[in-house]
Structure 1
């Protein structure tokens, strides 16, 4: 069970995981050693999965976002494993979600430019059979955040 300090620690760590323990301790009204133990417990219990660096997409020439809607006529386990392997083999595909409704999957791609979509498309369809694919170019990112609300734990 998480308490208010744990929730605050998770929020602060999501904002900047490189914050010094002394600062985290001060913000949570804990001693540095108690704060460090709590952070370790949150890791041990699986609340903190890993620490990562967020990279500026524009600086590394990946400013374009394309969402691809996929329909498939196949749902057997062999095809699902092929699909998982295919999307995992394409680094430009950064998210894949299985959906309810009229479509089976939505893929999020990050690309240097729109024309590069054809390269990714050919790599994907060369690895797995798909019934239908429709691409949608993101014109603007209205909201993008990595931090999750912590009050539900």
Structure 2
């Protein structure tokens, strides 16, 4: 884990809340002048703490009203299968997130599609791409909470 001081943590928290904030506002929030604040942001980017700045979009307003959590049980655990699996999910733009898991399932995907017909198409393309032992799909009825901001401690320790 990268050790960040209080000012770095405050900068990261401010940017996770709103990456469009002007440097002047961020600097004011963290108690720095603009140039040192900008240099810290550049350092945080170079260290890989800040990995990008994006706009968040409402999936429903973009036509992606169905979120599905797909559990995958691998057909085998060889390097070849894993490589094929990575290639398959890289070719499926509906996969928003993918995790290798411990426990009952080997992989968990978060998939966004417009509707059930689109999910059925996704499912067919996924299962045609490689052998899978088991696929379990869980359909989200409502998104109750969503954030991309980690709960960074912005108090002096």
What is the TM-score when the length of structure 2 is the normalising length? 0.92
How does 1:22-37 map onto structure 2 within 5 Å?
A: 22-37=24-39
Q: Paired residue for 2:74? A: 72
Structure 2 match to 1:19: 21
Q: 2-side partners of 1:42 and 1:111: how far apart? A: 34
- Asked if 1:47 is matched to 2:65, the reply is no
Contact 2:19 2:53 in 1 (8 A): yes
1:39 and 1:73 map into 2 onto residues whose CA distance is 44
Task: Specify the alignment match of 1:57 in structure 2.
Answer: 59
Aligned length: 152
Please, which runs of 5 or more residues in structure 2 have no aligned partner?
Answer: none
Query: Which structure 1 segments of 5+ residues have no match?
Result: none
Moved over 3 A (4+): none
Which residue of structure 2 lines up, in the alignment, with residue 113 of structure 1? 115
Q: Are the aligned partners of 2:75 and 2:131 in contact in 1 as well (CA < 8 Å)?
A: no
Output aligned runs, 1:140-151, within 5 Å. 140-151=142-153
Q: Tell me, what secondary structure is at the counterpart of 1:79?
A: helix
CA RMSD across the alignment: 1.4
CA shift, 1:33, in A, is 1.0
SS state at 1:59 partner? helix
Match in the other structure for 1:104: 106
